[in-house]
Amino acid sequence: MRKSTRRKPSRGDGGRERFDDFLPHLIARLAYQLHLDLVEKLRQEGINATRWRILAVLAMGDGITVNEITARAMLQQSALSRALMKMEQERYLRRVSGVGDGRYVEVFLTDKGRALFNTLNIVVRRRQDRLLQGFSQPERQAALRLMRRLGRNMAG
Amino acid sequence: MRKSTRRKPSRGDGGRERFDDFLPHLIARLAYQLHLDLVEKLRQEGINATRWRILAVLAMGDGITVNEITARAMLQQSALSRALMKMEQERYLRRVSGVGDGRYVEVFLTDKGRALFNTLNIVVRRRQDRLLQGFSQPERQAALRLMRRLGRNMAG
DNA sequence: AAGAGATATATGAAAATGCATATGATAACC
DNA sequence: GGTTATCATATGCATTTTCATATATCTCTT
C-alpha cells in the first residue's frame, strides 16, 4: 500500500456547533481541568478527591451533620455515608450520635484528620496560584464576584 | 427527656477556613450545580450526561477519532470506548475503522443521533440563559473572556 | 522485511457512584 | 399514648468509572 494513503483521520467538517461561546461548557471544562490537577496532586499524598473534600469541609467547621457535609462537599449522601465510615475506621474523624436529637450524627475531625488537612492544604492552595497567574488583585476580586454571581443564578 | 435539650447540631465553630474566597472551590461548586441541572434535564429525555457530551462533541464536527472525543468530552478513554459501543448498538452513531490507518476509529453521528442532539440541544441551551440571567451583553462577553483566560492558565 | 517502539483502542477487574429503599429515630397529630 | 408523618443515615444492587494491561496497527530502523 502506498504511504500516502495512510493518514490520521481529519477533524471533520470544522463544526457547525461551537463550544467556545457556550458558558456552561467552558465552566465544565475548567472544572474538569482543575479536578484532574487536584486528583494528581492528592494522589501523591495517597488520598482521593472525595476524601479531600470531606476533610476540607470539616476543617471549615466541624461538628456538623452528614447532610450538611453533603451539600458543602458536593457529594451524594450515600457516597458520603460510605466515605465517612472508612475515614472513621482510619481515625481521621469521629462521629457522635446527636446529643439532643438522635436522628442526627455530628462529625468531627480528629487531630490526625486535621493534620492531614493541613498537609494537603498547602499543596492544594498552589492550584489557585496557577489558576490566577497573571491576574491583578482587582482582577482576582472580579473573578470571585463573577463566580458568586453565577452561582446565585443557578441556586435561585 | 426535656424538649429543650433536643436540638439540631449547630454548624461548628464558624469556620477557621473559608471556601467563599477560594476560586477553585467556587468553580467546582458552580460546575456541580450546572451538572445537576443538566442531568435532570436530560433524565427527562432518557439520556445521561456522558452520552450527551458525546453527542454534543460529535455534532460539533464528526468523523473524529476516539482520542479526540476523549479530550473534548472530558471523559476517560476507557469509559468513552464503552459508551461508544453501546451508542453504536443503539444506532446513534457509526464507528468506521480508520481508512488509511487501521489503529484509528472514526466516529460519525447517524441521522438518529443527530436528531437526538437537536432535540436535546434546545433544552440544554436554556441552561445558559438561566446562568446568565441579569447579565448585560458586555458582562456576558467579560464572563466568557474570563473563563477562557482561566482555562488557558490551567492548560498551559 | 523482521523486529523494536509507538500509538490507538478495547477489555478485565476493582472501586466508586447513583438510585431506590430500608432502618432507626423523632416529631406531630388525633 | 399510639399511629402516622418526617427526617437522617445506611445499605443492596445495578451501572459507571478507573486503572492497568492487552491487542491491534502502524512507523522506523537496520
Q: What is the CA radius of gyration of chain A?
A: 21
A26 has a chain B CB within 8 A of its CB: yes
Chain B residues closer than 8 Å to A12 by CB: 60-64
pLDDT under 70: residue ranges of chain B: 1-17
Mean pLDDT of A88-115: 89
Q: Do B31 and A31 touch (CB under 8 A)?
A: yes
What grid cell was written down for B129? 440563559
Report CA(B16)–C1'(D8) in Å, whole number: 26
Distance A107 CA to D28 C1' (A): 60
Beta bridge pairs of residue A65: A106
pLDDT for position A19: 79
Q: Would you call A32 an interface residue with chain B, using a CB distance cutoff of 8 Å?
A: yes
pTM score = 0.90
Quote the CA–CA distance of A107 and A111 in Å, as a whole number.
13
Q: Please check whether residue B79 touches A, CB under 8 A.
A: no
Measure A99 CA to C26 C1' (Å): 13
Backbone angles phi, psi at A37, to 5 degrees: -60, -45
Given a cut of 60, whether residue A104 has pLDDT beyond it is yes
Helix residue ranges, H only, chain A: 23-44, 49-59, 66-73, 77-89, 111-131, 137-155
* Beta-carbon separation of B23 and A155 below 8 A: no
Cβ neighbourhood burial of A128 (10 Å; 0-12, 13-18, 19+)? middle
Per the DSSP assignment, residues forming a β-bridge with B96 are B106
Per-residue pLDDT band for A94 (boundaries 50, 70, 90) equals very high
- Per-residue pLDDT tens over the stretch A40-59: 999 888 899 999 999 999 99
Phi, psi torsion values for A105, nearest 5 degrees:
-125, 130
Q: How far is B46 from chain A (nearest CA, A)?
A: 21
Q: Which of A6, A32, A121 sits opposite B100 (nearest CB)?
A: A6
CA nearest to B146, candidates B3, B19, B26: B26
Residue A153 CB neighbours (<10 A): 17
pLDDT for position A12: 52
Q: How far is CA B7 from CA A62, A71, A102, B10, in A?
A: 16, 20, 9, 8
pLDDT at A69: 94
Distances from the Cα of B13 to the Cα of A54, A56, A83, A117, B8, angstroms: 16, 14, 23, 17, 15
The pLDDT of residue A1 = 38
Amino acid in position B105:
V
A8 touches strand D (CB under 7 A): no
**Strand D lies under 7 A from the Cβ of residue A95:** yes
Interchain CB distance below 8 Å, B11 and A68: yes
Distance (Å) from the C-alpha of residue A26 to the closest C-alpha of chain B?
6
| Structure confidence at residue B66 (pLDDT) | 95
Rounded to the nearest 10°, the torsion over CA B93, B94, B97, B103 is 10
